[in-house]
Amino acid sequence: MHHVGITVTDLATAVAFFEALGMELEGKAHAEGEFVDGVIGLDGSVSEIAMLKTPDERYRIEFSQFQTPRSVDGGSHAPINALGLRHVAFVVDDLDATLTRIKPHGAEVVRNVETYQEMLKTCYVRGPEGILIELCEYFR
């Protein structure tokens, strides 16, 4: 896998949130033209994109903010059991510290932080635009 793409209405907020999670901005670009339209299947598209990578450079998330055509709500606050892509999961070294770091960026724990058999501490968090994030801290 190379990356996961997420469309947002506020690119700067999404980038800041995921940087607070520990991802690194790899680059930004303006995207439009015949090539882009042919790939994504939208005529006259104009967007700004940002690619973020994990610190180990193995995984990436591409965020797109469209100027045209106008984005449509794809169920940004759908529950976890809705069909389709629902969450992105990250392993973190310290779950409590991570939550403290991302809270100023709008992160809200969905319900509880839970511990499973003294092996794992985990929770779901809603980030910008309702993006669901699972955070996992494994005990060693």
CATH 3.10.180.10 domain locations along the chain: 4-68, 87-138
- Rounded Cα distance between 126 and 110, Å, is 6
CA 69, distance to chain mean position in Å, is: 22
Read out DSSP for 66-100?
Answer: EEESPP----TT--TTSSS--EEEEE-S-HHHHHH
pLDDT tens digits, one per residue of 1-19? 789 999 999 999 999 999 9
- Rounded Cα distance between 54 and 24, Å, is 6
Would you tell me how many other CB atoms lie within 10 Å of the CB of residue 29? 11
- Out of 3.40.50.2300, 3.10.180.10, 3.40.50.10610, 3.30.2350.10, the CATH code matching 87-138 is 3.10.180.10
pLDDT tens digits, one per residue of 5-60? 999 999 999 999 999 999 999 999 999 999 999 988 889 999 999 999 999 999 99
**Selection from 89, 130, 90, 88 nearest residue 108 by Cα:** 130
Tracing tokens 């992105």 back to the chain, one arrives at 88
* CATH class of the 4-68 domain in this structure: alpha beta
pLDDT tens digits, one per residue of 83-130? 677 889 999 999 999 999 999 999 999 999 999 999 999 999 999 988
